[in-house]
Chains A and B, each alone.
Chain A
Amino acid sequence: MMSLSRRRVGAILRKELREYRRSRSIVPTMGAVPLLFVLVPLIESTTQTASTLRQYPLLLYLLGVPAIVPVVLAGYAVAGERQQGTLEPVLTTPIRSQELVLAKTLAALVPSLAISYAWYGVVAAGVALLARPGVPSALLRAPEVVALLLFTPLLASWSIWIGIAISSRLNDARAAQQLGSLASLPTIAVTILIVAASSRPRSPSSSPSPCCSWTGSAGGS
């Protein structure tokens, strides 16, 4: 059975992380892209009452963050290197394609998870500071927090896998990122549908879903 070399995987992983750290655009772009998904729960937490929010898994909107954040890195992973002429020297070393893909995946996963969890922290802090009394406990419920923490790596891995698959077939990093963004839309749509489907009022007297009211106002404006 083929064994993967930890040293080779580590070499690419370290190299990628160093490059991200020293890039002026990658990390800010990754940080800014998910702003929309973060604003929804923040705004809703300041405009809705605790009793309304208790009925909706609003927090799961944040799953859009790990779905969209890795696209920037995964799109660059192979196409970017090919464009810069740095891929060929790597491919002339004994590295196996599985090791290269694993290293690239981990290199995209680590900052994506860090950024996703950092944004979750920002949302939690924002809700704790800005929301009306009782809202934080209504919004930050244990099952949803656990689901968020568990599904984040899965969604990020899925997005990275799609991004790298696209990136390895293109020569242009920007095109790969754009196509990767398009390809992540179904994942985001499914996430929103799950939230929306879970947002049906549990009793006939409940107020309208905050998620639906948000999507409705966005669509109607």
Chain B
Amino acid sequence: MSEGDEVIVSAAESSAPALSAERLSKRFGDRMAFDDVSFAVGHGEVFGFLGPNGAGKTTIVRTLGTLIAPTAGAATVAGIPLTPENGVAIRRRIAIMPESPGLYLRLSVTENLECFADLYEVPDATARIDRALRAVNLLDRAHDTCGSLSKGFRQRVALARALISDPQVLFLDEPTAGLDPAATRDVHELIDGLRRRGVTVFLTTHRLEEAERLCDRVVILNTTLRAIGRPSELREQLFARTLEVRTRAVLPEPGAVFAGLPAVEGWLQDGPATYVLTVADPTVAAPAVTRALVAAGADVLSIAEARHSLQDVYLELVDEDRGVGR
């Protein structure tokens, strides 16, 4: 590493977030890949990037990975300002697992990893390769040529390749695409392990349940940034909290039961004997609703808070965009 690299890093790493973007945009000719995107990712955070096809997720990864230059805005990666002269210093501290594994198919798994260990100039390459292969459960296929591996195994080799350099920031672009459930679980456990080790993970995925399970915070991107926050925060931002009440028989006067309760902000019937109540705080409202129903002589089958998934949040935002023709 050159002396210049060291100066840039030591000045920047002390206080900067692991990853940040400030009004970042990228345009290809007339087409805007992503526009006015701002976020900051803390050290050791697993940060999810969600969005429909063509939303700009991969372009953001390529931009932050120094493969393409942004059209406007600023960013820091691994605490280093994203500028052309900092490209090498940034790439020393990050690793990217692209959507397509991009392996040398005539070379063995170990030869592929050796090549990248040398490109990163890692010390004790043999031990690192061994550790990376162990992490993705591929030790027994180490000497197979990559061309002979299935898609799932190739994906694992690509993941091992991304781990070789012990990156501070790891970009994973659809890491579980094409993997079977067991391999997907292994990858999830691996990401959990990286989080515990303080590695910042930038994860793009179409699997919303994966984002919900793994990510501390998520971004929903559709060319522009549509939402950012913890999955639970996004649910609360987008959806009112509701209680779903089921009774054995239809209530003769539901308005008389629900309308008088201070904890209930509104209600609607959602089936023959099912009612959805909008509430401010389900823990306060549920006991009050139960008492009112019992007092009205209703047989209560269930009272439960309606849970909105990240998928509901995602679809709500993407459908909104479709509605406005974005």
* Chain A positions within 8 Å of B39 at CB level: none
* Chain B positions within 8 Å of A90 at CB level: 119
| A8 interfacial by beta-carbon distance below 8 Å | yes
User: In chain A, residues 48-84, which have Cβ atoms closer than 8 Å to a Cβ of chain B?
Assistant: 84
B106 and A92 contact, CB distance less than 8 A:
no
Which of B66, B98, B106 contacts A89, CB < 8 Å? Answer: B98
| A95 interfacial by beta-carbon distance below 8 Å | yes
* Chain A positions within 8 Å of B102 at CB level: 84-89
How close is B248's CB to chain A, nearest CB, in angstroms? 60
| B161 interfacial by beta-carbon distance below 8 Å | yes
Contact with A along B165-208 (1 / 0, CB 8 A): 10000000000000000000000000000000000000000000
Between B103, B106, B118, the greatest number of chain A beta carbons within 10 A of the residue's beta carbon is seen for B118
* Chain A positions within 8 Å of B115 at CB level: 11-12, 14-15
A3-B2, A5-B121, A15-B115 given as contacts; is B104 within 8 A of A92 (CB)? no
Q: Which residue of A lies closest to B112 (CB)?
A: A15
* Chain B positions within 8 Å of A94 at CB level: 88, 91-92, 119-121
C-alpha gap A12/B114 in the complex (Å): 10
Between A12, A14, A87, A88, the greatest number of chain B beta carbons within 10 A of the residue's beta carbon is seen for A88
B107 and A95 contact, CB distance less than 8 A:
no
C-alpha gap A93/B91 in the complex (Å): 5
Q: Considering only CB atoms and an 8 Å cut-off, how many residues of chain B contact the other chain?
A: 30
C-alpha gap A55/B111 in the complex (Å): 53
A92-B67, A94-B88 given as contacts; is B118 within 8 A of A7 (CB)? yes
A88 and B98 contact, CB distance less than 8 A:
yes
A2 and B65 contact, CB distance less than 8 A:
no
C-alpha gap A7/B114 in the complex (Å): 11
Task: Give 13 A-B contacts (CB < 8 Å), ordered by A residue.
Answer: A11-B115, A18-B107, A18-B111, A85-B98, A86-B103, A87-B102, A88-B98, A88-B102, A89-B158, A93-B120, A94-B119, A94-B120, A96-B88
How close is B128's CB to chain A, nearest CB, in angstroms? 14
B121 and A92 contact, CB distance less than 8 A:
no
C-alpha gap A86/B158 in the complex (Å): 11
- Which secondary structure dominates where chain A touches chain B? helix
| B96 interfacial by beta-carbon distance below 8 Å | yes
Which of A8, A23, A84 contacts B119, CB < 8 Å? Answer: A8
Q: Which residue of A lies closest to B106 (CB)?
A: A22
| B95 interfacial by beta-carbon distance below 8 Å | yes
C-alpha gap A177/B120 in the complex (Å): 31
B121 and A8 contact, CB distance less than 8 A:
yes
* Chain B positions within 8 Å of A12 at CB level: 115, 119
**Which residues of A line the B interface, CB within 8 A?**
2-3, 5, 7-8, 10-12, 14-15, 18-19, 22-23, 84-96
Which of A19, A85, A88, A95 contacts B106, CB < 8 Å? Answer: A19
| B94 interfacial by beta-carbon distance below 8 Å | yes
How close is A31's CB to chain B, nearest CB, in angstroms? 19
C-alpha gap A12/B95 in the complex (Å): 18
B92 and A19 contact, CB distance less than 8 A:
no
How close is B151's CB to chain A, nearest CB, in angstroms? 13
| B116 interfacial by beta-carbon distance below 8 Å | yes
* Chain B positions within 8 Å of A88 at CB level: 67, 98, 102
How close is B124's CB to chain A, nearest CB, in angstroms? 13
* Chain A positions within 8 Å of B105 at CB level: 84
| B100 interfacial by beta-carbon distance below 8 Å | yes
C-alpha gap A88/B107 in the complex (Å): 17
List 13 other contacts, CB 8 Å, given A8-B121, A23-B106.
Answer: A7-B118, A8-B119, A11-B116, A11-B118, A12-B115, A12-B119, A15-B107, A18-B111, A85-B98, A89-B96, A90-B119, A94-B119, A95-B119
How close is A2's CB to chain B, nearest CB, in angstroms? 7
* Chain A positions within 8 Å of B161 at CB level: 89
Contact with A along B263-291 (1 / 0, CB 8 A): 00000000000000000000000000000
